[in-house]
Amino acid sequence: MRSPINALFGLFSRDLGIDLGTANTLVHVRGRGIVISEPSVVAIDKKTREVLAVGSEAKAMVGKTPANIVAVRPLKDGVIADIDIVEKMLRYFIERVHNGSIYPSRPRVVIGIPSGVTEVEKRAAKDAAIAAGAREAYTIEEPMAAGIGAGLPVNEPTGSMVVDIGGGTTEIAVISLGGIVINHSIRVGGDEIDEAIIQFARHECNLLIGERMAEAAKIVAGSAYPLEEERRVTLRGRDILTGLPKAVEVSSIDLREAIKGPVDEIVELVKLAVEETPPELIADIMEHGITLAGGGALLLGLDKRIAAETQMPVRIADDPLTCVARGTGKVVESLMEYQNALRAGQQMRRAAVTQ
């Protein structure tokens, strides 16, 4: 039973859903939608551990700060690397959402976290949210939140498959009756694809390019399957031999070959999850299709490639970059409805995390 005080808080509190991603943190506020989307970066003073900046401001400080200031990504490769900094980051975002509010609100918070995170880290994330001002805090695994955000019937006795391709990780889950039945996670995502383009430029074009150039080229002309009209993109950087600025035009065919390694790993993991899925659930997935979420879902032709290799229909979720955040927002609005999902489906899980 909720106490009258809690019920009163509930009337005024702006409950939050938070996607605590490796690359970006998004905050969804009840009734308002996504109000914060910032890089998961915190700039701290090395000596005092004081937080100097969070999000875009902290990211902009990378490489331009005095020696005593460091910019930290508190989540790395889908795990919490520094819980103390995560707490500080959460506190900053929660306070920012409530800044200027006329009500003394202590929100309920649902946090989407990578499924590779241990029980201890989950507990730590919840404690961090409470310490940061939350009244109640829950964690939910990212692929489950992505499924809810994509509008899949996660609570029904029907199989749904979600492939969430983020910056640092790819997570695959088969969901039924509010629980995760099959779960795989690898530390391969958009960042690895960017790195493959950097290596291609270095070895095939004698060109040094930065991460941002590689990501931009991936978005314009990276692909996982032959395109109806192949594209061209100019890579700009520094000539390895002369040290001078240089531009090289490459085709989407070149880039497809360049990123084959990480893309193949993602596709193989999807195939493995399909092979492990019980036949009755596979029949449902054949009917409704595999759903792709996360920024990596936007890689051109990835849907076609997965469809060709698994012989299953594949669809890209609407606005895949915000799927997890919107899912956490839905959960915090209906905690009772998603109680199975919040229990993270531990009991129902058959396959362990791959890495």
Ligand X SMILES: Nc1ncnc2c1ncn2[C@@H]1O[C@H](COP(=O)(O)OP(=O)(O)OP(=O)(O)O)[C@@H](O)[C@H]1O
- Binding-site positions for ATP read 22-24, 167-169, 295-298
Contact call for residues 117 and 86 (beta carbons, < 8 A): no
Identify which of residues 136 and 189 has a Cβ nearer to ligand X in the complex. 189
Nearest-10 Cα torsion for 331, 336, 341, 344: 110
321 binds ligand X (CB under 6 A): yes
Residue with tokens 């918070």: 109
Binding segment for ligand X among 6-14, 16-24, 125-133, 331-339 (CB under 6 A)? 16-24
Any residues with CB less than 8 A from the CB of 206 and at least 6 apart, and which?
A: 239, 240, 241
Q: Mask: binding to ligand X, 205-224, rule CB under 6 A, as x and -?
A: ----------x--xx-----
The rounded distance, in Å, linking the Cα atoms of 85 and 91 is 10
169 binds ligand X (CB under 6 A): yes
The rounded distance, in Å, linking the Cα atoms of 282 and 234 is 42
Identify which of residues 191 and 284 has a Cβ nearer to ligand X in the complex. 191
Contact call for residues 147 and 173 (beta carbons, < 8 A): yes
Angstrom CA distances, 121 to 43, 117, 138, stand at 22, 6, 12
- Minimum Å gap between C-beta 313 and ligand X is 21
- Minimum Å gap between C-beta 194 and ligand X is 6
41 binds ligand X (CB under 6 A): no
Q: β-strand 16-20 against 69-72: which pairing, if any? A: unpaired
Mapping DSSP to helix (H, G, I), strand (E, B) and coil, where does residue 59 land?
helix
Closest CA to 164 of 321, 23, 313: 321
Binding segment for ligand X among 92-100, 187-195, 255-263, 346-354 (CB under 6 A)? 187-195
Identify which of residues 13 and 183 has a Cβ nearer to ligand X in the complex. 183
Q: Mask: binding to ligand X, 272-311, rule CB under 6 A, as x and -?
A: ----------------------xxx-xx------------
The number of residues that bind ligand X (CB under 6 A) is 23
Binding site for ligand X (CB under 6 A): 21-24, 78, 114, 142, 166-169, 189-191, 215, 218-219, 294-296, 298-299, 321
